[in-house]
Structure 1
Amino acid sequence: MRKTAIAKAVVLAAAFGAMSSAMAVEVAANANLTTDYKFRGVSQTNRGMAFQGGFDADFGNGFYLGNWNSNVNFAGTGANVSSGSAGLETDLYGGYASSYNGINYDIGGLYYYYNKVEYGSTKLNTFEVYGKLAYQNAYAKVSYAASQNYFGFSSAAGNGTPDLRGSIYYDLGYSYPVTDKFSLSAHYGHTAYDKDISNVASGVGTTKSYDDYSVSGAYTVGKYTFSLAYVDTNGKAEDLFGKYLTKGTLIATVGAKF
C-alpha cells in the first residue's frame, strides 16, 4: 500500500510539473505599507495604516488568478467615528486579458471577503464582475455588482432591502511616464447605487451616487515603488460616510514586487 501511494504521488508530481511547464505559469507576489487604505475614496482603516499583500498567477494564455489582502477597520457612524470593527479583507479574482489592434482588454470577476468584520446587520461580502479597456496610458473600467450584498449597504427607508445587485462603479484613469522610473497618474471614479442609500452621516436625505478622484506620483527603484497620492471625494460621499472618512487625504505608500 505504501509503495502504491508513493508511486501515485510521484506520478501526480510529475504530471503537475509537466502541466505547469506546458502552461508556463508565472507567479508574482506583492506587498505594500500605506498610511491609509482608501477604497473608492473612503478610508477602510479609520484613517489608520495598512499592511497589504497578495499574489498574481499568469497562465501565459491570457487567463489569470490572484489574491490580495489588507487589514481594515470600519469606523462607527455619525459622531462615533473612533469605534469600529477591525478585521481582514481578502480579495479573490480571476479573468482573461488580451489585446486587439493596440487596445488592451480585461474581463473578470472579483470577490471581496471580510473576515471578523461587523458593520450593521447586512453582509459586507461582495462579488463584482468587471470589464476594462486600455489604450496606451489611459483606461476605462466598469465594475458591476453581481451579488445581492453590496459592501454592507441597505436601501433607504421605505424599501429597506439589502439587495443592491446592479450597483455600478465607473473608473477612469491616465498615467504619464515622466521618466523610466517616475510617473504621474490621475483617477476619477463614480459609484452609482442601484437604490437610494440613506445618508447615515448627515442624517438627512439620501444618496444615489458619489464621485471620488485622486492624483499621484510614483518612483520605482528595482522591485520597490514609493508613491504619494492625494485622494478626495465630493460632498455626496461626505453626507453618506462622514467627513472624517472621506475628506481629502495625502497618502504615502511603499510597495514591493517579488
Structure 2
Amino acid sequence: MKKTLIATSLATAMASAVSLSALTLPSVAAAEVSANVGVVSNYFFRGVTQTDDGAAVQGGLDYGHDSGFYAGTWASTVDFGDGTSYELDLYAGYGGSFGDLGYDVGYIYYAYPDGDDLDFGEIYGSLSYSYLTAGLAYTVNSQASGDDAAFDTGDLYYYAGVDVPFGDSGYSGSLYYGYYTFENDSSTNELDYGHWSAGLSKDVGDFGSVGFNLEMADISGDHAWADSNSDDLKLWISWSKSF
C-alpha cells in the first residue's frame, strides 16, 4: 500500500495486510505448497486504491505445515503516480484453534522494490468463530520518517468481518469494516479513518472464483495523501484461482 502523504488502498492482504480483500493466507490443515493468481479491476488496501483506480495483476506462493506454521509471498502491480510499479509482500505466521475458536498470528513485510522509502512491516493477530473474524495489525518497522509521517511505527489497524456461504450454491457474501489510527497523528486525529467493503463471490470450479465488491472509505478531502474520491462508493470486480 502507498505510505507517503501524496496519493495512495487491507488488505488485506490482509484482506490485502491483513485485509480480507488484499491477501490470502495458506491453509494449514496439511503440509503443502500452493499458488494463486488473480486480476482485479481496482486494487484496494484498507479502503484506498493502490492503482489510481486502475486494474492490477496479482499472485502469490504459500507454504503451510500441519503444525500450523505457514509462510509465503504475494505481489501486485501498483500505480502511485511516482514510478513505483509493484508491491511485494513477505509473511510468516502460525494458525490453529482452541475448539471452535480459531487464531492466527504472524508478521508481514510490505516491500516496494522500485519505490522510494515506502517499505514497512507489521505484526498481526486475529480470532475467528464460525463466519466471523476480527483482528488487528501493528506497524513495528517502517522507512517513513518525520514527526508528521503517516505509516510510521506505532500505527494500528483494527478490522472485523463476516463471510457467509449460501448453501451449496457456490456463492458467498462478505461484509467488512476496518479502522486505521496513526501514531504521529494522535493529537489531531486528522488522518485516522474507517472504511467498509461488501462483496459477493462465486466459485466457478476449474475457472477459479469471481467476485463483485463495493468499497467505501470515510476519508475527507483534507487528507492530501488520499485519493480525492476515496469517500465515494466504488465498485470493483475480481477473478482469482488457486493451484
Do both share a fold (TM > 0.5)?
Answer: yes
Report the equivalent of 1:134. 128
Q: Which amino acid letter does the alignment assign opposite residue 210 of structure 2?
A: F
DSSP 3-state at the match of 2:78: strand
Q: Aligned-pair distance for 1:248?
A: 2.0
**Residue 205 of structure 2: which of 180, 197, 222 is its match?**
222
Which consecutive segments of 4 or more residues in structure 1 shift more than 6 A? none
Report the equivalent of 1:69. 75
Report the equivalent of 2:106. 108
Q: Aligned-pair distance for 1:85?
A: 2.5
Measure the CA separation in 1 of the matches of 2:123 and 2:221: 23
Give a deviation string over 1:47-96, Cα, whole Å, max 9, x none: 11100000111111100001100011114xxxxxxxx3331100000100
Measure the CA separation in 2 of the matches of 1:231 and 1:140: 18
Task: Check the 8 A contact 1:210/1:237 in 2, yes or no.
Answer: no
Check 1:106–1:183 CA distance in 2 against 1; reply closer, same or farther (3 A cut). Answer: same
Corresponding residue pairs, total? 211
1:42 aligns with 2:30: no
Measure the CA separation in 1 of the matches of 2:210 and 2:151: 39
Measure the CA separation in 2 of the matches of 1:59 and 1:237: 45
Report the equivalent of 1:31. 37
Q: Aligned-pair distance for 1:115?
A: 1.6
**Which is higher, the Rg of structure 1 or of structure 2?**
1
Q: TM-score, normalising length from structure 2?
A: 0.80
Check 1:51–1:246 CA distance in 2 against 1; reply closer, same or farther (3 A cut). Answer: farther
Between stretches 127-136 and 171-180, larger displacement belongs to 171-180
**Residue 194 of structure 2: which of 201, 205, 211 is its match?**
211
Q: TM-score, normalising length from structure 1?
A: 0.76
Q: Aligned-pair distance for 1:162?
A: 7.1
Between stretches 236-245 and 44-53, larger displacement belongs to 236-245
1:243 aligns with 2:228: yes
Identity rate, percent = 30
Task: Check the 8 A contact 1:50/1:70 in 2, yes or no.
Answer: yes
Q: Which amino acid letter does the alignment assign opposite residue 175 of structure 2?
A: A
1:168 aligns with 2:156: yes
Give a deviation string over 1:7-64, Cα, whole Å, max 9, x none: xxxxxxxxxxxxxxxxx73011001101000100111011111000001111111000
Check 1:45–1:218 CA distance in 2 against 1; reply closer, same or farther (3 A cut). Answer: same
Task: Check the 8 A contact 1:54/1:67 in 2, yes or no.
Answer: yes
Measure the CA separation in 1 of the matches of 2:50 and 2:151: 22
**Residue 195 of structure 1: which of 179, 184, 187 is its match?**
184
Q: Which runs of 5+ in 2 are unaligned?
A: 1-29
Report the equivalent of 1:92. 90
Which has more helix, going by share of residues?
1
DSSP 3-state at the match of 1:86: coil
Task: Check the 8 A contact 2:96/2:102 in 1, yes or no.
Answer: yes
1:233 aligns with 2:217: yes
Measure the CA separation in 2 of the matches of 1:188 and 1:163: 19
DSSP 3-state at the match of 1:195: helix
Measure the CA separation in 2 of the matches of 1:155 and 1:70: 30
